[in-house]
Structure 1
Amino acid sequence: MTKGLSLMAVSLALGLLLTVQFQTQQHLANSLEAQSTNNLVTMWQDLNERKAQLEKEVTNLQANLTELDQQSSLGRSNFETLSKNTARLKMVTGDAPVKGPGVSVTITGESSLLYYDIVDLINELWVSGAEAIAINGQRVTLGTAIGEQPGPNSTTVITVDGKPLLSPYIIEAIGDPAALEKGLTMQGGIIYNLNTLYSIYPEVHQRVLITLPGAGPLSWRYARVRE
Protein backbone atom coordinates (compact mmCIF):
# COMPACT_ATOMS: atom_id res chain seq x y z
CA MET A 1 0.00 0.00 0.00
CA THR A 2 2.72 2.39 1.02
CA LYS A 3 4.74 1.30 -1.99
CA GLY A 4 1.76 1.99 -4.29
CA LEU A 5 1.27 5.45 -2.85
CA SER A 6 4.93 6.25 -3.28
CA LEU A 7 4.87 5.12 -6.90
CA MET A 8 1.76 7.24 -7.52
CA ALA A 9 3.40 10.26 -5.90
CA VAL A 10 6.50 9.86 -8.02
CA SER A 11 4.42 9.50 -11.18
CA LEU A 12 2.37 12.55 -10.27
CA ALA A 13 5.48 14.59 -9.53
CA LEU A 14 7.08 13.46 -12.78
CA GLY A 15 3.97 14.38 -14.74
CA LEU A 16 3.80 17.77 -13.09
CA LEU A 17 7.47 18.37 -13.86
CA LEU A 18 7.01 17.42 -17.49
CA THR A 19 3.97 19.66 -17.74
CA VAL A 20 5.81 22.63 -16.24
CA GLN A 21 8.84 22.00 -18.46
CA PHE A 22 6.66 21.81 -21.58
CA GLN A 23 4.81 25.00 -20.68
CA THR A 24 8.08 26.76 -19.91
CA GLN A 25 9.62 25.70 -23.22
CA GLN A 26 6.46 26.65 -25.09
CA HIS A 27 6.41 30.08 -23.42
CA LEU A 28 10.08 30.55 -24.17
CA ALA A 29 9.58 29.56 -27.80
CA ASN A 30 6.63 31.92 -28.11
CA SER A 31 8.68 34.70 -26.53
CA LEU A 32 11.63 34.14 -28.88
CA GLU A 33 9.33 33.95 -31.86
CA ALA A 34 7.65 37.18 -30.85
CA GLN A 35 10.99 38.82 -30.19
CA SER A 36 12.36 37.69 -33.59
CA THR A 37 9.29 39.04 -35.38
CA ASN A 38 9.61 42.39 -33.64
CA ASN A 39 13.26 42.54 -34.56
CA LEU A 40 12.45 41.78 -38.20
CA VAL A 41 9.79 44.47 -38.23
CA THR A 42 12.24 46.94 -36.72
CA MET A 43 14.92 45.97 -39.24
CA TRP A 44 12.42 46.26 -42.10
CA GLN A 45 11.38 49.71 -40.90
CA ASP A 46 15.02 50.78 -40.59
CA LEU A 47 15.77 49.49 -44.07
CA ASN A 48 12.77 51.33 -45.50
CA GLU A 49 13.85 54.54 -43.82
CA ARG A 50 17.41 54.08 -45.08
CA LYS A 51 16.10 53.31 -48.56
CA ALA A 52 14.01 56.47 -48.50
CA GLN A 53 17.05 58.49 -47.40
CA LEU A 54 19.19 56.96 -50.16
CA GLU A 55 16.50 57.62 -52.76
CA LYS A 56 16.32 61.23 -51.58
CA GLU A 57 20.11 61.53 -51.79
CA VAL A 58 20.09 60.02 -55.29
CA THR A 59 17.37 62.48 -56.34
CA ASN A 60 19.39 65.40 -54.95
CA LEU A 61 22.56 64.16 -56.65
CA GLN A 62 20.74 63.78 -59.96
CA ALA A 63 19.36 67.31 -59.60
CA ASN A 64 22.86 68.63 -58.82
CA LEU A 65 24.28 66.71 -61.78
CA THR A 66 21.61 68.15 -64.08
CA GLU A 67 22.32 71.66 -62.80
CA LEU A 68 26.07 71.20 -63.26
CA ASP A 69 25.52 69.84 -66.76
CA GLN A 70 23.33 72.82 -67.61
CA GLN A 71 25.93 75.20 -66.20
CA SER A 72 28.63 73.38 -68.14
CA SER A 73 26.58 73.61 -71.34
CA LEU A 74 25.93 77.28 -70.67
CA GLY A 75 29.62 77.81 -70.00
CA ARG A 76 30.56 76.07 -73.24
CA SER A 77 27.95 78.11 -75.11
CA ASN A 78 29.22 81.35 -73.58
CA PHE A 79 32.80 80.38 -74.36
CA GLU A 80 31.91 79.57 -77.97
CA THR A 81 30.03 82.86 -78.32
CA LEU A 82 32.94 84.76 -76.79
CA SER A 83 35.40 83.00 -79.11
CA LYS A 84 33.29 83.83 -82.17
CA ASN A 85 32.92 87.46 -81.11
CA THR A 86 36.65 87.70 -80.45
CA ALA A 87 37.40 86.23 -83.88
CA ARG A 88 35.03 88.74 -85.52
CA LEU A 89 36.61 91.59 -83.59
CA LYS A 90 40.08 90.50 -84.70
CA MET A 91 38.90 90.44 -88.30
CA VAL A 92 37.42 93.92 -87.99
CA THR A 93 40.52 95.38 -86.37
CA GLY A 94 42.81 93.56 -88.80
CA ASP A 95 44.51 91.63 -86.02
CA ALA A 96 43.77 88.20 -87.53
CA PRO A 97 44.64 86.83 -90.99
CA VAL A 98 41.59 86.42 -93.22
CA LYS A 99 40.66 84.80 -96.50
CA GLY A 100 37.78 84.92 -98.94
CA PRO A 101 36.70 86.03 -102.41
CA GLY A 102 37.29 89.54 -103.63
CA VAL A 103 39.21 91.64 -106.13
CA SER A 104 42.77 92.70 -106.80
CA VAL A 105 43.77 96.09 -108.18
CA THR A 106 47.21 96.29 -109.80
CA ILE A 107 48.99 99.45 -110.95
CA THR A 108 52.27 98.77 -112.74
CA GLY A 109 55.02 100.86 -114.32
CA GLU A 110 55.99 104.43 -113.71
CA SER A 111 53.00 106.65 -113.14
CA SER A 112 52.01 109.91 -111.58
CA LEU A 113 50.04 108.08 -108.92
CA LEU A 114 49.82 110.04 -105.68
CA TYR A 115 49.16 108.82 -102.17
CA TYR A 116 45.63 110.23 -102.11
CA ASP A 117 44.86 108.17 -105.23
CA ILE A 118 45.62 105.11 -103.12
CA VAL A 119 43.43 106.53 -100.36
CA ASP A 120 40.59 107.10 -102.85
CA LEU A 121 40.87 103.53 -104.16
CA ILE A 122 40.77 102.11 -100.64
CA ASN A 123 37.83 104.30 -99.63
CA GLU A 124 35.91 103.22 -102.73
CA LEU A 125 36.52 99.58 -101.81
CA TRP A 126 35.26 100.18 -98.26
CA VAL A 127 32.16 101.92 -99.58
CA SER A 128 31.56 99.04 -102.01
CA GLY A 129 31.48 96.52 -99.18
CA ALA A 130 35.08 95.40 -98.68
CA GLU A 131 35.57 93.56 -95.39
CA ALA A 132 39.37 93.48 -95.40
CA ILE A 133 42.03 95.25 -97.49
CA ALA A 134 45.80 95.02 -97.91
CA ILE A 135 48.35 97.00 -99.94
CA ASN A 136 51.36 95.08 -101.21
CA GLY A 137 50.69 92.46 -98.54
CA GLN A 138 50.32 94.99 -95.71
CA ARG A 139 46.95 94.96 -93.97
CA VAL A 140 44.99 98.21 -93.91
CA THR A 141 43.44 98.90 -90.50
CA LEU A 142 41.97 101.77 -88.53
CA GLY A 143 45.47 102.84 -87.58
CA THR A 144 47.02 102.63 -91.07
CA ALA A 145 48.61 105.87 -92.21
CA ILE A 146 49.06 106.44 -95.95
CA GLY A 147 51.20 109.39 -96.94
CA GLU A 148 54.29 110.39 -98.88
CA GLN A 149 57.88 111.33 -98.30
CA PRO A 150 60.64 112.86 -100.45
CA GLY A 151 62.26 110.44 -102.88
CA PRO A 152 65.29 110.57 -105.20
CA ASN A 153 65.56 113.19 -107.94
CA SER A 154 62.98 115.52 -106.41
CA THR A 155 60.28 112.85 -106.51
CA THR A 156 57.90 111.70 -103.82
CA VAL A 157 57.43 108.19 -102.54
CA ILE A 158 54.10 106.83 -101.30
CA THR A 159 54.37 105.39 -97.80
CA VAL A 160 52.24 103.08 -95.69
CA ASP A 161 52.84 103.46 -91.97
CA GLY A 162 56.08 105.25 -92.81
CA LYS A 163 57.39 102.48 -95.09
CA PRO A 164 57.96 103.19 -98.81
CA LEU A 165 55.39 101.59 -101.11
CA LEU A 166 57.16 100.25 -104.18
CA SER A 167 55.74 99.57 -107.64
CA PRO A 168 53.84 97.55 -108.66
CA TYR A 169 51.07 98.67 -106.34
CA ILE A 170 48.74 95.79 -105.56
CA ILE A 171 45.59 96.39 -103.55
CA GLU A 172 43.63 93.31 -102.51
CA ALA A 173 40.17 93.42 -100.98
CA ILE A 174 37.89 90.69 -99.62
CA GLY A 175 34.17 91.03 -100.26
CA ASP A 176 31.58 90.47 -102.98
CA PRO A 177 33.78 90.42 -106.12
CA ALA A 178 31.09 91.76 -108.45
CA ALA A 179 30.09 94.58 -106.10
CA LEU A 180 33.70 95.59 -105.48
CA GLU A 181 34.55 95.64 -109.19
CA LYS A 182 31.41 97.60 -110.00
CA GLY A 183 32.22 100.19 -107.35
CA LEU A 184 35.71 100.70 -108.77
CA THR A 185 34.86 100.74 -112.48
CA MET A 186 31.55 102.62 -112.57
CA GLN A 187 31.21 105.59 -114.89
CA GLY A 188 32.68 108.68 -113.24
CA GLY A 189 34.30 106.60 -110.50
CA ILE A 190 37.86 106.54 -109.23
CA ILE A 191 39.34 104.34 -111.96
CA TYR A 192 37.47 106.24 -114.68
CA ASN A 193 39.04 109.45 -113.40
CA LEU A 194 42.51 107.89 -113.20
CA ASN A 195 42.15 106.70 -116.80
CA THR A 196 40.83 109.90 -118.31
CA LEU A 197 42.62 112.54 -116.24
CA TYR A 198 45.99 111.00 -115.43
CA SER A 199 46.44 108.15 -117.93
CA ILE A 200 46.74 105.67 -115.08
CA TYR A 201 45.18 102.30 -115.87
CA PRO A 202 44.71 100.03 -112.87
CA GLU A 203 43.87 96.41 -113.67
CA VAL A 204 40.93 95.03 -111.71
CA HIS A 205 40.41 91.27 -111.45
CA GLN A 206 37.86 89.27 -109.55
CA ARG A 207 39.43 86.58 -107.38
CA VAL A 208 37.94 83.37 -106.03
CA LEU A 209 40.23 83.31 -103.02
CA ILE A 210 42.35 86.02 -101.44
CA THR A 211 44.43 85.54 -98.31
CA LEU A 212 45.40 88.61 -96.31
CA PRO A 213 47.82 88.72 -93.36
CA GLY A 214 46.99 90.01 -89.92
CA ALA A 215 48.34 93.38 -88.89
CA GLY A 216 48.75 92.52 -85.22
CA PRO A 217 46.91 94.18 -82.34
CA LEU A 218 46.32 97.90 -82.48
CA SER A 219 48.13 100.08 -79.97
CA TRP A 220 46.17 102.91 -78.38
CA ARG A 221 48.13 105.88 -77.08
CA TYR A 222 45.29 108.08 -75.86
CA ALA A 223 41.94 106.29 -76.18
CA ARG A 224 40.63 104.42 -73.15
CA VAL A 225 37.49 102.36 -72.56
CA ARG A 226 34.80 104.47 -70.93
CA GLU A 227 33.70 102.97 -67.62
Structure 2
Amino acid sequence: MKLARNLSITLICIILGVMLAWQYRSILHNSKKQNLPNVRVETLRDELIVQKENNEDLMKRNDELQKQISKYENSQGNLNQVEKNLESELGRVRLLAGLSEIEGAGVIINLEYVGENSISETAVLSLINELKASEAQAISIEGERIVAMSEIKKAGDYIVVNGKQMLAPFTIKAIADPEKLENSLTMLGGMVENLEYLYSVKVTIEKKDSITIPKVRDDGSVLKYDLLHTKE
Protein backbone atom coordinates (compact mmCIF):
# COMPACT_ATOMS: atom_id res chain seq x y z
CA MET A 1 0.00 0.00 0.00
CA LYS A 2 2.82 2.34 0.92
CA LEU A 3 4.67 1.39 -2.25
CA ALA A 4 1.63 2.16 -4.42
CA ARG A 5 1.22 5.55 -2.75
CA ASN A 6 4.90 6.40 -3.37
CA LEU A 7 4.56 5.39 -7.01
CA SER A 8 1.48 7.59 -7.36
CA ILE A 9 3.26 10.59 -5.83
CA THR A 10 6.27 10.01 -8.10
CA LEU A 11 4.05 9.79 -11.18
CA ILE A 12 2.22 13.00 -10.23
CA CYS A 13 5.55 14.81 -9.73
CA ILE A 14 6.76 13.67 -13.14
CA ILE A 15 3.55 14.85 -14.81
CA LEU A 16 3.74 18.23 -13.04
CA GLY A 17 7.38 18.59 -14.04
CA VAL A 18 6.61 17.92 -17.70
CA MET A 19 3.70 20.37 -17.60
CA LEU A 20 5.87 23.07 -16.05
CA ALA A 21 8.61 22.48 -18.61
CA TRP A 22 6.17 22.78 -21.50
CA GLN A 23 4.64 25.90 -19.97
CA TYR A 24 8.08 27.50 -19.56
CA ARG A 25 8.99 26.71 -23.18
CA SER A 26 5.69 28.17 -24.35
CA ILE A 27 6.26 31.39 -22.40
CA LEU A 28 9.85 31.67 -23.69
CA HIS A 29 8.71 31.08 -27.28
CA ASN A 30 5.98 33.71 -27.03
CA SER A 31 8.40 36.16 -25.48
CA LYS A 32 10.85 35.71 -28.37
CA LYS A 33 8.04 36.16 -30.88
CA GLN A 34 7.01 39.40 -29.16
CA ASN A 35 10.57 40.73 -29.11
CA LEU A 36 11.33 39.77 -32.72
CA PRO A 37 9.35 42.65 -34.30
CA ASN A 38 11.07 45.11 -31.96
CA VAL A 39 14.52 43.78 -32.90
CA ARG A 40 13.58 43.90 -36.58
CA VAL A 41 12.32 47.47 -36.28
CA GLU A 42 15.54 48.52 -34.52
CA THR A 43 17.65 46.90 -37.25
CA LEU A 44 15.65 48.54 -40.04
CA ARG A 45 15.88 51.91 -38.30
CA ASP A 46 19.68 51.63 -38.00
CA GLU A 47 19.98 50.63 -41.66
CA LEU A 48 17.75 53.56 -42.67
CA ILE A 49 19.94 55.99 -40.73
CA VAL A 50 23.10 54.64 -42.41
CA GLN A 51 21.53 54.88 -45.87
CA LYS A 52 20.34 58.41 -45.14
CA GLU A 53 23.85 59.47 -44.12
CA ASN A 54 25.31 57.85 -47.26
CA ASN A 55 22.78 59.67 -49.44
CA GLU A 56 23.62 62.98 -47.78
CA ASP A 57 27.34 62.39 -48.39
CA LEU A 58 26.66 61.56 -52.05
CA MET A 59 24.53 64.68 -52.46
CA LYS A 60 27.30 66.82 -50.97
CA ARG A 61 29.86 65.27 -53.30
CA ASN A 62 27.54 65.78 -56.26
CA ASP A 63 27.18 69.46 -55.35
CA GLU A 64 30.97 69.79 -55.18
CA LEU A 65 31.37 68.23 -58.61
CA GLN A 66 28.65 70.44 -60.08
CA LYS A 67 30.40 73.54 -58.73
CA GLN A 68 33.70 72.32 -60.18
CA ILE A 69 32.08 71.80 -63.59
CA SER A 70 30.58 75.29 -63.41
CA LYS A 71 34.02 76.76 -62.71
CA TYR A 72 35.50 75.14 -65.80
CA GLU A 73 32.54 76.15 -67.94
CA ASN A 74 32.75 79.76 -66.77
CA SER A 75 36.51 79.89 -67.35
CA GLN A 76 36.38 78.81 -71.00
CA GLY A 77 38.58 81.13 -73.04
CA ASN A 78 40.26 82.46 -69.90
CA LEU A 79 43.58 80.62 -69.57
CA ASN A 80 44.48 82.33 -66.30
CA GLN A 81 41.25 81.15 -64.69
CA VAL A 82 41.73 77.63 -66.06
CA GLU A 83 45.21 77.54 -64.59
CA LYS A 84 43.91 78.71 -61.20
CA ASN A 85 41.21 76.03 -61.23
CA LEU A 86 43.73 73.33 -62.09
CA GLU A 87 46.07 74.50 -59.33
CA SER A 88 43.19 74.45 -56.85
CA GLU A 89 42.20 70.93 -57.88
CA LEU A 90 45.84 69.78 -57.69
CA GLY A 91 46.10 71.17 -54.15
CA ARG A 92 42.92 69.32 -53.18
CA VAL A 93 44.21 66.05 -54.63
CA ARG A 94 47.54 66.43 -52.81
CA LEU A 95 45.62 67.11 -49.60
CA LEU A 96 43.49 63.96 -49.96
CA ALA A 97 46.48 61.81 -50.94
CA GLY A 98 48.45 62.90 -47.88
CA LEU A 99 51.13 64.69 -49.91
CA SER A 100 50.77 67.96 -47.97
CA GLU A 101 51.41 68.83 -44.34
CA ILE A 102 48.13 69.81 -42.76
CA GLU A 103 46.81 71.52 -39.64
CA GLY A 104 43.50 71.46 -37.83
CA ALA A 105 41.62 70.77 -34.61
CA GLY A 106 41.59 67.23 -33.28
CA VAL A 107 42.91 64.92 -30.57
CA ILE A 108 46.22 63.45 -29.47
CA ILE A 109 45.98 59.86 -28.22
CA ASN A 110 48.70 58.17 -26.20
CA LEU A 111 48.86 54.37 -25.98
CA GLU A 112 50.92 52.74 -23.24
CA TYR A 113 51.05 49.02 -22.46
CA VAL A 114 50.55 48.08 -18.81
CA GLY A 115 51.08 44.32 -19.20
CA GLU A 116 54.12 42.15 -19.82
CA ASN A 117 54.04 42.16 -23.62
CA SER A 118 54.19 44.92 -26.21
CA ILE A 119 51.12 46.50 -27.78
CA SER A 120 49.74 44.30 -30.55
CA GLU A 121 49.19 45.56 -34.09
CA THR A 122 45.58 44.43 -33.72
CA ALA A 123 45.01 47.02 -31.00
CA VAL A 124 46.56 49.78 -33.11
CA LEU A 125 44.62 48.76 -36.22
CA SER A 126 41.38 48.69 -34.26
CA LEU A 127 41.99 52.23 -33.05
CA ILE A 128 42.90 53.47 -36.55
CA ASN A 129 39.74 51.93 -38.01
CA GLU A 130 37.64 53.51 -35.26
CA LEU A 131 39.20 56.92 -35.95
CA LYS A 132 38.37 56.56 -39.66
CA ALA A 133 34.82 55.48 -38.83
CA SER A 134 34.52 58.56 -36.60
CA GLU A 135 35.34 60.78 -39.61
CA ALA A 136 38.94 61.60 -38.76
CA GLN A 137 40.24 63.39 -41.86
CA ALA A 138 43.95 62.84 -41.20
CA ILE A 139 45.84 60.44 -38.90
CA SER A 140 49.47 59.92 -37.95
CA ILE A 141 51.36 57.50 -35.70
CA GLU A 142 54.66 58.66 -34.27
CA GLY A 143 54.95 61.17 -37.10
CA GLU A 144 54.04 58.68 -39.84
CA ARG A 145 51.07 59.78 -41.94
CA ILE A 146 48.41 57.09 -42.39
CA VAL A 147 47.09 56.92 -45.95
CA ALA A 148 45.19 54.33 -47.96
CA MET A 149 48.39 52.41 -48.81
CA SER A 150 49.84 52.46 -45.28
CA GLU A 151 50.56 49.13 -43.63
CA ILE A 152 50.73 48.31 -39.94
CA LYS A 153 52.27 45.00 -38.89
CA LYS A 154 54.06 43.28 -36.02
CA ALA A 155 57.80 42.54 -36.08
CA GLY A 156 59.03 41.14 -32.78
CA ASP A 157 58.64 43.78 -30.09
CA TYR A 158 58.17 46.43 -32.76
CA ILE A 159 55.20 47.63 -34.73
CA VAL A 160 56.11 48.59 -38.28
CA VAL A 161 54.21 51.50 -39.83
CA ASN A 162 55.02 52.47 -43.42
CA GLY A 163 58.20 50.42 -43.10
CA LYS A 164 59.32 52.30 -39.97
CA GLN A 165 59.90 50.37 -36.71
CA MET A 166 58.23 51.77 -33.60
CA LEU A 167 58.12 50.89 -29.91
CA ALA A 168 55.42 51.76 -27.37
CA PRO A 169 54.30 54.14 -26.03
CA PHE A 170 52.68 55.45 -29.21
CA THR A 171 51.39 58.93 -29.92
CA ILE A 172 48.56 59.03 -32.44
CA LYS A 173 47.23 62.31 -33.84
CA ALA A 174 43.88 62.69 -35.57
CA ILE A 175 42.31 65.77 -37.15
CA ALA A 176 38.54 65.75 -36.64
CA ASP A 177 35.84 67.35 -34.50
CA PRO A 178 37.51 66.98 -31.05
CA GLU A 179 34.28 66.63 -29.05
CA LYS A 180 32.70 64.16 -31.45
CA LEU A 181 35.86 62.08 -31.69
CA GLU A 182 36.40 61.92 -27.93
CA ASN A 183 32.76 60.94 -27.33
CA SER A 184 33.01 58.21 -29.95
CA LEU A 185 36.14 56.72 -28.39
CA THR A 186 35.10 56.96 -24.73
CA MET A 187 31.48 55.81 -25.01
CA LEU A 188 30.42 52.85 -22.85
CA GLY A 189 31.69 49.67 -24.49
CA GLY A 190 33.65 51.76 -26.98
CA MET A 191 37.23 51.65 -28.25
CA VAL A 192 38.98 52.97 -25.13
CA GLU A 193 37.23 50.42 -22.94
CA ASN A 194 38.12 47.61 -25.35
CA LEU A 195 41.77 48.64 -25.51
CA GLU A 196 42.02 48.77 -21.74
CA TYR A 197 40.26 45.48 -20.96
CA LEU A 198 41.05 43.35 -24.02
CA TYR A 199 44.61 44.50 -24.74
CA SER A 200 45.78 45.92 -21.38
CA VAL A 201 46.53 49.27 -23.03
CA LYS A 202 46.36 52.52 -21.08
CA VAL A 203 44.75 55.23 -23.21
CA THR A 204 44.87 58.99 -22.68
CA ILE A 205 43.10 61.47 -24.95
CA GLU A 206 43.88 65.18 -25.20
CA LYS A 207 41.73 67.56 -27.25
CA LYS A 208 43.58 70.25 -29.19
CA ASP A 209 42.52 73.34 -31.12
CA SER A 210 45.45 72.91 -33.48
CA ILE A 211 47.33 69.76 -34.52
CA THR A 212 49.95 69.46 -37.26
CA ILE A 213 50.19 66.20 -39.19
CA PRO A 214 53.10 65.73 -41.61
CA LYS A 215 52.80 64.65 -45.22
CA VAL A 216 53.44 61.04 -46.16
CA ARG A 217 57.01 60.17 -47.13
CA ASP A 218 57.24 60.39 -50.93
CA ASP A 219 60.44 58.37 -51.30
CA GLY A 220 58.55 55.44 -52.84
CA SER A 221 58.40 53.43 -49.59
CA VAL A 222 54.71 54.17 -48.98
CA LEU A 223 53.09 55.43 -52.18
CA LYS A 224 53.89 52.90 -54.87
CA TYR A 225 52.46 53.40 -58.33
CA ASP A 226 55.24 52.47 -60.77
CA LEU A 227 53.13 49.54 -62.05
CA LEU A 228 50.01 51.67 -62.57
CA HIS A 229 49.07 53.08 -65.97
CA THR A 230 46.04 55.03 -67.13
CA LYS A 231 43.75 53.11 -69.44
CA GLU A 232 43.97 54.24 -73.06
Q: TM-score range by the shorter chain?
A: 0.5 to 0.7
Tell me which structure has the larger Cα radius of gyration. Answer: 1
Establish whether residue 128 from structure 1 lines up as the match of residue 129 from structure 2.
no
Establish whether residue 84 from structure 1 lines up as the match of residue 88 from structure 2.
yes
Partner of 2:227: 222
Q: Distance in 2 between matches of 1:71 and 1:161?
A: 41
Partner of 2:125: 119
Cα deviation for residue 126 of structure 1 reads 0.8
Equivalent pairs, count: 153
CA RMSD, 1 decimal = 2.2
Partner of 2:160: 159
Q: Structure 1 regions of 5+ residues with no counterpart?
A: 1-69, 151-155
Percent of paired sites with the same residue: 31
Amino acid at match of 2:82: N
Amino acid at match of 1:122: I
Partner of 1:105: 109
Contact 2:98-2:145 within 8 A present in 1 as well:
yes
Partner of 2:8: none
Partner of 1:13: none
Q: Distance in 2 between matches of 1:116 and 1:80?
A: 44
What whole-Å deviation, never above 9, does each CA across 1:162-208 have from its counterpart, x for those lacking one?
32112220000111111221222222222111122333221011111
TM-score (norm 2): 0.60
CA gap 1:135/1:87 in 2 versus in 1, 3 angstroms: same
| Matches for 1:1-227 after TM superposition, within 5 Å | 74-108=78-112, 111=115, 112-150=118-156, 156-217=157-218, 218-227=223-232
Q: Structure 2 regions of 5+ residues with no counterpart?
A: 1-73
Cα deviation for residue 96 of structure 1 reads 0.8
